[in-house]
Amino acid sequence: MRGSQTFARWQTTLLQLGRLGQVLRVPVARIGARPNHTRGIRGGAEGKAVEVEEEIRAVGGTGASVRIIREVVTKRRTWGVANGDKRKRNEEEQAAKRLRTGAENEYATTQFSKEEIEAEGRKPKRKVAVLIGYAGSGYKGMQINGNEKTIEGDIFKAFVAAGAISKANADDPKKSSLVRCARTDKGVHAAGNVISLKLIVEEPDIVQKINEHLPPQIRIWGMERTNGSFSCYQTCDSRWYEYLIPTYSFIPPHPKSFMGKKLVESAEKEGVLDQWRSRQEDAADFWEKAETEYVKPILDKLDPEMQEAVMALIHSSVDENEPEVSKKKQKQAAKAREAASVQKSDSDGSKSNLTQADEAIDSERGPSMVKEEKPEDIVDTSKSSDSVSESARRNGGDEENLETKNEAGGEVKNKDEMEGIEVKVVNDVQIKKEEGTEASKSILTPLDVAVKEIKAAYIAAKKAYRISDYRRQRVQDALSCYIGTRNFHNYTIQKTFLDPSAKRVIRSFKVGPTPVIINDTEWLSLKVHGQSFMMHQIRKMVATAALVVRCGTELSIIQESYGQATISIPKAPGLGLLLERPVFDTYNEQAKTKYEREKIDFDKFQKEMDEFKQREIYDRIFREEEKDHQFHTFFHHIDHYRTDYFLWVTAEGISAARQSKVRAELMEDDNASDNEPDANGEEG
């Protein structure tokens, strides 16, 4: 009864408010919004409120409605004052962020004295488009960011060293109007990219001089004079990216993994088990063959109790709240270790694959040891040192003296503490000994050796996998779902469904016609052409397509991901991503006729670019994957991560996945860079 009375009062008030709007000759929604809405009645905020009261009473308003309307007017005025000008707020936020990250006034790559600057003299600068290529390994991204090691930072230093930028302008890239066409993230490569700025380009061999001051993994292809107002960021029409991915990324999850079990349970629950199995038929026997050919020979050397303990550890799931194995499996492992301690270690067969096995188990342990991280970041395959740095920055600490856990769960000490550590070999196993302490007791037991060998065997089996035509077509079908104008709010950070900037245009997304085999591993090339890309967008698109194919998910889930529901999508490893080239078709059409300038065209440097891409990018990707097994680690951890965040790939769809928490956490992501003119950034 009371609720209906309240509703009736509000209804009456709204009617009176409508009549008031007619009296004041303004829409109801705009009453109190701005001072000039009641211009000619009275001036000032207080006069406005008094006049509103008089008008309400004149049309029969009650005391309650007067209070309500007065509150509306007051709150709207307060809101306007508090929020102020949007541009001013944005500038203040940017300044605050630069202050937090220490980026303000830290662009000074080279400092010169006043005498040196005056002695140099002034030379004319010209606006140019600089065509560049680089391998992003070892760099914290493309864009200059404080004192971090970045591609632009090294290029700018080379400009100064070669005399392309004067000493007077050497302390700040902004003085040269530096703009980048596409910003790439940490570790992401580019065969072709463009930066535009004002340079001194009088010398004919200026490109050669600049390259002499650059490392081999960064090259300047050439320069083109442009019109004075040219901005490569604003002028770029579209961008081509390539993503290299090993085909074993599309193998279905192991049947004993958490994800493998959930896929079957969900399909049975929804009554679509037969349809799901038909989509997985071409790879249904992979794991059985892998265990017969690669795993069984190792298990045959172990006693039954040891076999049980080893396989329990291999297929243990990682709980989102407790990253260690379950207590039951811990007891099994402890029991097996105790039994093994009284036996002699069988070294036969335990040496040959030890190095590869060490890498396998260490890489798989890494993400599982991290607590209280976002699901997308838990399965990221970044180095532990980067995680330490980011954690230190988030917590306001000093990363140089920070002690944490490394990827293998061991303690990472700072440089001073690491000095004086002696390495000894005991029973063909390297152990470390600190001065003044006893030798470490963490010598590998037979159980540890067996676990390492079996994990290495699984990796070897994956590398031997060759994708079928049916599964490769499934990959293409999944990628084709991205083509068109889509709402990619789930494929980036800091975007909501209602944010218009989350809508992006994908023109094509194609799988290479023929896989290539490098170091016994089969790779696919995925090429995407789009107008622009948001941060992490391509890596999340690739991860989604891979999860849909390997989990036998209906392709309709990709269409559903464009909807209002928020889902957690992990980032595929940045290792395989490279910017192929930006496209300037619109500018090139006018370059000759309107500006009397040359086109921005990478074709004239194609031979050099192909050699560079093979030597510095492709080979680097293959080497790093061979060493670190990043793709194996990424998908292995997703399969064994015991959470409902990624269960949208099951037959139950989005309803089976947790949706609320992740979006709130993503909105607090401090790693997003917004120094671009468009704060949406670029892919990386």
pLDDT in tens, 43-75: 454 555 555 566 556 555 556 555 655 655 554
Integer Cα distance of 25 and 14 in angstroms: 16
Q: What pLDDT, on the 0 to 100 scale, is given for residue 666?
A: 39
Q: What is the mean pLDDT of residues 542-559?
A: 97
Spatial neighbors of 588 by CB under 8 A, at least 6 apart, are 599, 600, 601
For the chain, residues classed under CATH 3.30.70.580 are 114-235
Lowest mean pLDDT among 22-31, 108-117, 255-264, 577-586: 22-31
DSSP type of residue 680: T
Query: Which residues participate in catalysis according to the annotation?
Result: 185
Residue 241 annotated in ligand binding:
yes
pLDDT tens digits, 275-323: 999 999 999 999 999 999 999 999 998 888 888 888 888 887 666 554 4
* Distance set, CA 675 to CA 155, 179, 531, 567 (Å): 18, 11, 20, 27
**Is a pLDDT exceeding 80 seen at residue 394?**
no
- Residue 635: half-sphere exposure toward Cβ, Cα within 13 Å: 27
User: Which overall architecture, per CATH, does domain 114-235 show?
Assistant: 2-Layer Sandwich (3.30)
CA 408/CA 67 separation, integer angstroms: 65
Taking the C-alpha atoms of residue 656 and residue 453, their distance in angstroms, rounded to an integer, is 36
Q: What percent of the chain shows pLDDT beyond 70?
A: 60
Percent of the chain with pLDDT over 90: 48
139-153, 298-312, 387-401, 471-485: which has the highest mean pLDDT? 471-485
- As given in the structure block, the two tokens for residue 605 are 């440097």
Q: What is the mean pLDDT of the chain?
A: 75
Q: What is the pLDDT of residue 106?
A: 42
Which pLDDT score, from 0 to 100, does residue 37 have?
Answer: 43
Domain at 244-270+465-580+619-666: CATH architecture: 2-Layer Sandwich (3.30)
Burial 509-521 (b: 16+ CB within 10 A, else e): bebeeebeebeeb
DSSP string, 123-154: ---EEEEEEEEE--TTSS-SS--TTS--HHHH
pTM above 0.85? Answer: no
Residue with more model confidence, 302 or 31? 302
Question: Which residue intervals of the chain bear CATH 3.30.70.660?
Answer: 244-270+465-580+619-666
249-275: average pLDDT: 96
pLDDT the model gives residue 415: 35
Structure confidence at residue 112 (pLDDT)? 65
3-state secondary structure of 59: coil
Q: What is residue 8's predicted lDDT score, i.e. its pLDDT?
A: 61
